Copies of this chain bind each other. A is one copy, B any other.
């Protein structure tokens, strides 16, 4: 059962492939094709189940109705939730999403961008890492919509959607301080991306604003590419400092590791020791006691991204870049 081509349809309908193409692409009216021919061709298309070959179409037109989504790690619930929301929204507008993980690997990311590029993806949604500025600039020069999210690359002029990490982190620490905490630790990662830096800056600023001493030994920077076992060990090490009365975890997976460390240590979360996580995770709410967390509004972020994409796709002219910063919310649970 060979798959049908536009030629087969043209043959059956006894018209040229040009005519068939016009009809398929809704240009029949514009091109003044007679109603009779339109009807006939449409019937044949329907009866035969013919579907245009998108590869050939993309090769010719340079478009694909596909949006490429590049995230750090699809198995992280923050990214998979966003991916799912974007997928839903895009699908309703006739766009498909294909996604892939960078694993914070510059080489892999470059290859992915190239993969998407040669496949004529119409737009890119990227949670970027440093080192791919040039590749993204190429896309922009190529007039492709690019939306960065979660992290920004300050060197680039492009669209960005993300939460206000500085503010969120500041508020989390503020709430600790108002609760009487004095030795507040930060467990973060060593990857050098804007949103992680912001979380750190918010932590620091809040401590200084409230005239607490900034203690470098209370900040633990976990290497990105190490096993969770090692991470847990390092967190336990940190917690040997019994002065610590509160911990902010800068990502959800670090908070999970932190909870495991606490469990190992048999250390309770109570009036004298609090923690706050980042991004939500099913485990936070279920934990006894429930874990407070800084929540990024996934729905709003996904919506903002898709709106930006659609706006750009709908127009030929380059729209002004937008930097959309959405406030994250501190969810206090207890």
Q: List A residues at the B interface (Cβ < 8 Å).
A: 1, 51, 53-56, 58-59, 73-75, 77, 80-81, 83-84, 87, 91, 96-101, 108, 112, 114-115, 118-120, 138, 141, 256, 259-260, 263, 281-283, 285-288
Task: Evaluate contact between B101 and A99: CB separation under 8 angstroms.
Answer: no
**Do A97 and B100 contact each other (CB < 8 Å), given the known contacts A84-B75, A119-B55, A286-B263?**
yes
CA distance A157 to B74 in the complex (A): 31
Task: Evaluate contact between B114 and A87: CB separation under 8 angstroms.
Answer: no
- Name the residue of chain B whose CB is nearest to the CB of A81: B75
CA distance A229 to B24 in the complex (A): 45
Task: Evaluate contact between A51 and B118: CB separation under 8 angstroms.
Answer: yes
CA distance A100 to B90 in the complex (A): 12
Least distance between A218 CB and chain B CB atoms (Å): 24
Contact of A75 among B56, B80, B96, B112 (CB under 8 A): B80
Least distance between A150 CB and chain B CB atoms (Å): 16
When distances are taken between beta carbons in the complex, the residues of chain B under 8 Å from A74 are 74, 80, 83-84, 87, 99
Task: Evaluate contact between A54 and B87: CB separation under 8 angstroms.
Answer: no
Task: Evaluate contact between B119 and A1: CB separation under 8 angstroms.
Answer: no
CA distance A58 to B115 in the complex (A): 13
CA distance A23 to B108 in the complex (A): 25
CA distance A256 to B263 in the complex (A): 20
When distances are taken between beta carbons in the complex, the residues of chain B under 8 Å from A51 are 114, 118
CA distance A91 to B111 in the complex (A): 11
**Do A54 and B118 contact each other (CB < 8 Å), given the known contacts A100-B96, A101-B87?**
yes
5 pairs of A and B residues whose beta carbons are closest in the complex: A283-B283, A98-B98, A75-B84, A75-B80, A54-B118
When distances are taken between beta carbons in the complex, the residues of chain B under 8 Å from A99 are 74, 98-99
CA distance A288 to B108 in the complex (A): 40
When distances are taken between beta carbons in the complex, the residues of chain B under 8 Å from A286 are 256, 259-260, 263, 283, 286-287
> Could you write out 21 A-B pairs with CB less than 8 Å apart?
A53-B118, A55-B58, A59-B59, A73-B84, A74-B84, A74-B87, A75-B81, A77-B77, A77-B80, A80-B80, A84-B101, A87-B101, A96-B100, A98-B99, A99-B99, A119-B119, A260-B285, A263-B288, A283-B283, A283-B286, A287-B288
Task: Evaluate contact between B256 and A141: CB separation under 8 angstroms.
Answer: no
Least distance between A228 CB and chain B CB atoms (Å): 10
CA distance A133 to B28 in the complex (A): 36
Least distance between A154 CB and chain B CB atoms (Å): 24
When distances are taken between beta carbons in the complex, the residues of chain B under 8 Å from A55 are 55, 58-59, 118-120
Task: Evaluate contact between A119 and B54: CB separation under 8 angstroms.
Answer: yes
Task: Evaluate contact between A282 and B281: CB separation under 8 angstroms.
Answer: yes
Beyond A54-B119, A55-B59, 10 additional pairs, beta carbon < 8 A: A1-B138, A1-B141, A80-B80, A87-B100, A91-B108, A99-B99, A256-B286, A260-B285, A263-B288, A281-B282
When distances are taken between beta carbons in the complex, the residues of chain B under 8 Å from A141 are 1
